[in-house]
Amino acid sequence: MAKKKNCKYIFVVGGVISGVGKGVTSSSIGLILKNRGLSVTSIKIDPYINVDAGTMNPTEHGEVFVLNDGNETDQDMGNYERFLGIDLTRLNYMTTGLVYQTVIEKERNLEYKGKCVEVVPHIPLEVMGRIKEAGKRADADVVIIEIGGTVGEYQNMLFLEAARMMKIEYPKDVIFVMVSYLPTPSKVGEMKTKPTQNAVRTLNASGIQPDILIARGETSLDEKRKEKISLFCNILSGRVISAPDMHSIYDIPINFEKEKLSDKLCDILGVTCRKPDKKAWNSWKKFAKLAHDSKDIVKIAMIGKYFETGDFILSDSYLSVIEAIKYSAYVQNRKPIFTWLNSVDFEKSPEKLKGLKKYDGIVVPGGFGSRGVEGIINSVKFARENKIPYFGLCYGMQLLVIEYARNVLKIKDANTREVNPGSKNIVIDVMESQKEHLKKSSYGGSMRLGGYKALLRDGTIARRAYSKKEIIERHRHRYEVNPAFIADLEAKGLIFSGRSPEGHLMEIAELPKEKHPFFLGTQFHPEFLARPLSPHPLFTAFIKACINKKKR
């Protein structure tokens, strides 16, 4: 057997400001390299102390993306999976908290053999060990490591130190890509390079020299400024890449290839790669074109509560849901228009519910706690009675069941234990396996998490959408449909079309097509498995129902 070549490592770091698209840049680099026949895996490093992203409010940090193995991670992991079309694992994600926790555990287990354990080098060494392990397990030719935050911050210093040490260990196999921002002040009208020059210098102070600079800005970077950056930042001129704002994030890899980025990366890394895979590339381009060309709209109301941050609307809390809807809309030549509705409004002013009629479909994504819940239940009722397509994800499914119990089974105080533990009719109850965690207040990483099998019932909307009997979907919840109510709910027409293989956990609830065009909820989160080139079947069925409503 031929000896496997050394694994290559690409560190991606950010300069000047956050939010310039390091995640999408890393994902796009992965995609263009994969398209050259290389096997790629990606790692996200988050500098916070939280051991994982699971304990954070989405308005703090955006969506919590759940991996197949149940790890609760940053939303960038979703971008990697979607762009690369792969499943990542807990090895692909780390935080400061996780790294310290591991080092301290090892110390307690005498794994450092009596040495004094210090922040440097032991923390960077642990980081390096994790990066190498992730590459090895994925049998990767290239590992892309995105270091969260911006250079110059205190928080990510030890990760930069790890990157620097990797370069010393594997001088030929480690390269650095810096994603930086070039502002165009409106009064000046010219793209300015100075902040980027300073950011590169700051990175230099950590002992790191970027090999490639991705110049993010509102517009393209001209030759003159490319030369300037090249000269002042010590980067070969062909390696300053113009990355203007694009119509959609799916255009970014296409722009990179216009700049011949995969050639350049392979060249610096010293890897031989094949010519771009035309077929795969064309499918990507076709998908990106659909995102441009789909003109007919489909209007989706998203009802939840994690939208507002100060005066801004933060759609990031539901990033995967939005992406999943887009993919399923684009394949049907539709452009989704999202409206964010705060469920609390439907409690304060129930007359606002009538406004829901103008939407082609309603989505209630996952959520926790009691705020806004009554408003959601009111809107589920409205969707059911007015035959507006309704898709409930996790909490959205549990609240569908509660609405049905209250208004069809006439159990007026039906509720979830999460909201009203005192109710006599706990239709959604805490899972047996969760009781102990709640008692001990052990909340981190303890929900029912990750991929679990479910079986679908023949003749249902779900079964037809998936066109298979057995599915695996990702979960993140503590509560479930209380088995005591299942028979009554089904007797009154609600169908549990998906169940766990043993049959006791309700995974999908729906009304038959004759009663409602699409009234369905899933205990799992289908959005985590939607991919640009393979949209999720349930989202596709939902959008189809929305398009039909429009025609009605």
The question of whether 525 is a catalytic residue gets the answer yes
Site membership for ligand GLN, residue 479 (CB under 6 A): yes
Site membership for ligand GLN, residue 418 (CB under 6 A): yes
Nearer to ligand GLN, 221 or 397 (CB): 397
Site membership for ligand GLN, residue 476 (CB under 6 A): yes
Contact range with ligand GLN by CB under 6 A, out of 8-16, 19-27, 393-401, 407-415: 393-401
Task: Give the interface size with ligand GLN as a residue count (CB under 6 A).
Answer: 11
Site membership for ligand GLN, residue 239 (CB under 6 A): no
Site membership for ligand GLN, residue 368 (CB under 6 A): yes
Question: Please, where are the H alpha helices in 115-260?
Answer: 119-137, 157-169, 194-205, 223-233, 252-258
Nearer to ligand GLN, 23 or 304 (CB): 304
Least distance from C-beta 229 to ligand GLN, angstroms? 44
The residue within the footprint of ligand GLN, chosen from 80, 256, 346, 395 (CB under 6 A), is 395
What is the residue type of 305? K
By rule CB under 6 A, what string of x and - marks binding of each residue 306-335 to ligand GLN?
A: ------------------------------
Contact range with ligand GLN by CB under 6 A, out of 340-348, 458-466, 473-481, 501-509: 473-481
Please name the residues in contact with 154: beta carbons below 8 A apart, sequence gap of 6 or more.
Answer: none
Site membership for ligand GLN, residue 366 (CB under 6 A): yes
Using DSSP, state whether 224 is helix, strand or coil. helix
User: 121 preceded by cis ω (within 30°)?
Assistant: yes
Site membership for ligand GLN, residue 477 (CB under 6 A): yes
Nearer to ligand GLN, 383 or 397 (CB): 397
Q: What are phi and psi of 349, to 5 degrees?
A: -135, 85
- Identify the active-site residue in 122, 394, 480, 507: 394
Least distance from C-beta 417 to ligand GLN, angstroms? 10
Q: What sign for the dihedral angle of Cα 109, 112, 118, 124? A: negative
**Burial track 330-358 (b if 16+ CB lie within 10 A, e otherwise):** bbbebbbebebbbbbbbbeeeeebeebee
Contact range with ligand GLN by CB under 6 A, out of 49-57, 174-182, 321-329, 472-480: 472-480
Please name the residues in contact with 359: beta carbons below 8 A apart, sequence gap of 6 or more.
Answer: 299, 300, 301, 339, 388
The question of whether 527 is a catalytic residue gets the answer yes
The Cα 484–Cα 426 span in angstroms is 9
Least distance from C-beta 440 to ligand GLN, angstroms? 17
Site membership for ligand GLN, residue 478 (CB under 6 A): yes
Nearer to ligand GLN, 161 or 429 (CB): 429
Site membership for ligand GLN, residue 74 (CB under 6 A): no
Beta bridge partners of 535: none
Question: Please, where are the H alpha helices in 35-153?
Answer: 58-61, 75-84, 96-108, 119-137
The Cα 531–Cα 499 span in angstroms is 24
Give the largest Cα separation in the chain, rounded. Answer: 75
Residue in the structure block whose two tokens are 């030890």: 158
Least distance from C-beta 526 to ligand GLN, angstroms? 12
Least distance from C-beta 68 to ligand GLN, angstroms? 16
Least distance from C-beta 104 to ligand GLN, angstroms? 30
The Cα 169–Cα 88 span in angstroms is 26
Contact range with ligand GLN by CB under 6 A, out of 13-21, 361-369, 451-459, 505-513: 361-369
Least distance from C-beta 418 to ligand GLN, angstroms? 5
Contact range with ligand GLN by CB under 6 A, out of 68-76, 209-217, 360-368, 457-465: 360-368
DSSP string, 485-528: GHHHHHHTT-EEEEE-TTS-SEEEEE--TTT-S-EEEESS-GGG
Question: Please, where are the H alpha helices in 334-449?
Answer: 345-348, 373-385, 395-407, 432-439
The Cα 365–Cα 485 span in angstroms is 23
The question of whether 122 is a catalytic residue gets the answer no
- Identify the active-site residue in 323, 525, 536, 546: 525
Site membership for ligand GLN, residue 346 (CB under 6 A): no
Site membership for ligand GLN, residue 367 (CB under 6 A): yes
SS3 content of the chain, % helix, strand, coil (to 5): 45, 20, 35
Nearer to ligand GLN, 75 or 193 (CB): 75
Least distance from C-beta 439 to ligand GLN, angstroms? 16
User: Which tokens hold the place of 547?
Assistant: 């398009």
Nearer to ligand GLN, 212 or 373 (CB): 373
Least distance from C-beta 395 to ligand GLN, angstroms? 3
Contact range with ligand GLN by CB under 6 A, out of 81-89, 179-187, 394-402, 539-547: 394-402
Contact range with ligand GLN by CB under 6 A, out of 172-180, 238-246, 376-384, 470-478: 470-478
User: Is the distance from CB of 71 to CB of 93 less than 8 angstroms?
Assistant: yes
Site membership for ligand GLN, residue 361 (CB under 6 A): no
| Other Cβ atoms closer than 10 A to 185 | 9
Site membership for ligand GLN, residue 394 (CB under 6 A): yes
With residue 262 as reference, give the H or E element that holds it.
helix 261-269
With residue 465 as reference, give the H or E element that holds it.
helix 461-466
Catalytic residue IDs? 394, 525, 527
Binding site for ligand GLN (CB under 6 A): 366-368, 394-395, 398, 418, 476-479
